[in-house]
Structure 1
Amino acid sequence: MPQIRLNDCLFHYTDQGSGPPLLLLHGLGSSERDWEYQVPALTEHYRVLCLDSRGHGQTEKGGNGYSIPLFAADCLAFIQAMELEKPHIVGLSMGGMIAFQLATNSPETPASLTIVNSAPEVIPRRPAEYWMAGKRLFFAHILPMRAIASGLGKMLFPKPDQQHHRDTFQARWCENDRRSYLASLRAIVGWGVSAQLDRIVCPVLVVSADQDYTPVEQKRNYVSRLGDARLEVIADSRHATPVDQPEAFNSLLLDFLQQVDATRTLTHEIDPA
């Protein structure tokens, strides 16, 4: 398996296909395996790279000093080390937060962003939000990983015919390094770049499941504050949209990416400089 050392951490990644570069960023407590239903379709058109964030998957574990800005700095270092010119970036949940951070820090880097079931901030502002954040942190610190995996698996994949997804999710979740998982969770709560959204200059596709943790309306609100952005809602889906609705998600993503590429090609032909 390919590995690369960046920012004093040894990262695992995959690199498949050929064409314009496309970087996929997974969610909290997961790995590049988040994208197993996307990679075969995407590699027909793109060079697809998946990076395990620090503390996740087969990347080096630790748990000290984790933050979304650090994860974004890791991604930027990876893009530079791999010499990826204007990559498309797709982020699921925590991966979407990392993508937002990277695009506000380095607006010239991405060709496009696709944000899946995510947001530009996780800052509690109302009593109910403080309660939910506190409850999640509390139970994450006291419950065994297996219990967390069981509860999340049933929430993400509640249907009887989703037993395979539940079993797979629970088995993989239990592979997490507990210290790294908790450090990553703490990195999310209180993070935000909502005040810097005007720095994002690339096209943005926001994908929301109709039954995601956060309401579609919240995503509609932040999409309205972005420039070249649109929101698409996938029906009969929960937080793990690329897994529970892969065909709909893949079609939506490929259409968006190819529209962006066609526009970039046309712009270059009109103004090569």
Structure 2
Amino acid sequence: MPTIKAGDLDVHYLDYGHGEPVIFVHGNWASSGWWLRVLERLPAGYRGLAPDLRGRGATQGPDNDYTMPSLAADLWNFADALGIERCHLVGHSLGAAVVLQAALDRPDRVLTIAVLAPPWVDGMPDEVYQPERQQLLKDNPDFFAQAIKAMAPTAPEDDLWRELVAIGHSQRLSAANGAINALRAWKPGDALRQIGAPALVMGGELDPLVTAETVKRAAAALGVEPQIIAGVGHSANLEAPDRFVALLTAHWQRTP
């Protein structure tokens, strides 16, 4: 799997297909492999690129403040390193916030944007902000595995799943804490409408974290109708990749 120098990072990434570039950004306690089933199903005419974020997966480099503007800057450094000027952006959970911030920062570089399980666009609520839970997830691999499975209840427990759980648990605690602090501070709200690019907002019917109301709020901020995917939890990219790719493909094909 390739690695490329991007800013102060050596970014590990997956690279599938040929054509219009699509950058896929994973969530917290995750890695690029969460996009594998999607990348395998990409239609002809698209090139899917999925990097490991700072502090996660096989990407190497120092910690930083892990704020949304910093993670968005990492994304554009990655695009620059690959010579990509404009692209489609797709983000999951924390990655949804990253791509939305990246699109706010550089709307001229965004062809379309799609987000799955987008976090709170008015800031993470106090009842969800649990720094002590991040420590527990890192300290206890069994608890971590159970917690991740509860988030994606219909994902097949195959070899890929076991690999993703192991890689996710290897994430730096500094990156995990940075993520929840960033989500607490990130409050773009209705300013997201300034992005202007065609947007798709998706959520899982069974998601225990990003509720339908949270998805609807993000969709309203972007000026679109939400798509709630029936019978899946937080991670339709693993739980229902065929349906997820069908929604993405229709979204891209509606765009001139």
Q: TM-score, normalised by structure 2?
A: 0.89
Q: Is the 8 A contact 1:20 1:46 kept in 2?
A: yes
Counterpart secondary structure, 2:60: coil
Deviations 1:56-102 (A, max 9, x none): 11111543422111110111122223222321110000110001101
Q: Which residue of 1 aligns with 2:210?
A: 214
Deviations 1:180-208 (A, max 9, x none): 33333333332222142131110000011
Of 243-252 and 145-154, deviating more is: 145-154
- CA root-mean-square deviation: 2.2
Deviations 1:101-147 (A, max 9, x none): 011111111100001001353624xxxx31331xx211212451414
Inter-partner Cα distance in structure 2 for 1:30 and 1:122 = 23
Counterpart secondary structure, 1:233: strand
Deviations 1:18-68 (A, max 9, x none): 111111111112111011111121153311111111111111154342211
Q: Is the 8 A contact 1:24 1:91 kept in 2?
A: yes
Q: Which residue of 1 aligns with 2:111?
A: 111
Counterpart secondary structure, 2:166: helix
Q: How do 1:13-162 residues align onto structure 2 when only pairs under 5 Å count?
A: 13-42=13-42, 44-119=44-119, 121=121, 123-124=123-124, 129-133=125-129, 136-143=130-137, 144-158=139-153, 162=156
Percent of aligned positions that are identical = 25
Q: Paired residue for 1:183, among 178, 182, 193?
A: 178
For 2:99, the aligned partner's letter is: A
Inter-partner Cα distance in structure 2 for 1:225 and 1:121 = 8
For structure 2, the residue ranges without an aligned partner over 5 or more in a row are none
For 2:222, the aligned partner's letter is: L
Deviations 1:201-224 (A, max 9, x none): 100000111122222133223322
For 1:226, the aligned partner's letter is: L
Q: Which residue of 2 aligns with 1:248?
A: 243
For 2:196, the aligned partner's letter is: V
Q: Which residue of 1 aligns with 2:222?
A: 226
Of 141-150 and 161-170, deviating more is: 161-170
For 1:96, the aligned partner's letter is: A
Counterpart secondary structure, 1:96: helix
Deviations 1:212-256 (A, max 9, x none): 2222133223322324x3321110010011101111111111111
For 1:199, the aligned partner's letter is: Q
- Please report how far the alpha carbon of residue 149 of structure 1 lies from its aligned counterpart in structure 2 after TM superposition: 1.6
Residue 148 to residue 16, structure 1, CA distance change in 2 (3 Å): same
Q: TM-score, normalised by structure 1?
A: 0.84
Of 197-206 and 37-46, deviating more is: 37-46
Inter-partner Cα distance in structure 2 for 1:84 and 1:162 = 34
- Please report how far the alpha carbon of residue 167 of structure 1 lies from its aligned counterpart in structure 2 after TM superposition: 3.7
User: Quick check: which has more Rg, 1 or 2?
Assistant: 1
Q: Is the 8 A contact 2:31 2:164 kept in 1?
A: no
For 2:133, the aligned partner's letter is: F
Q: Is the 8 A contact 1:210 1:233 kept in 2?
A: yes
Q: Which residue of 1 aligns with 2:6?
A: 6
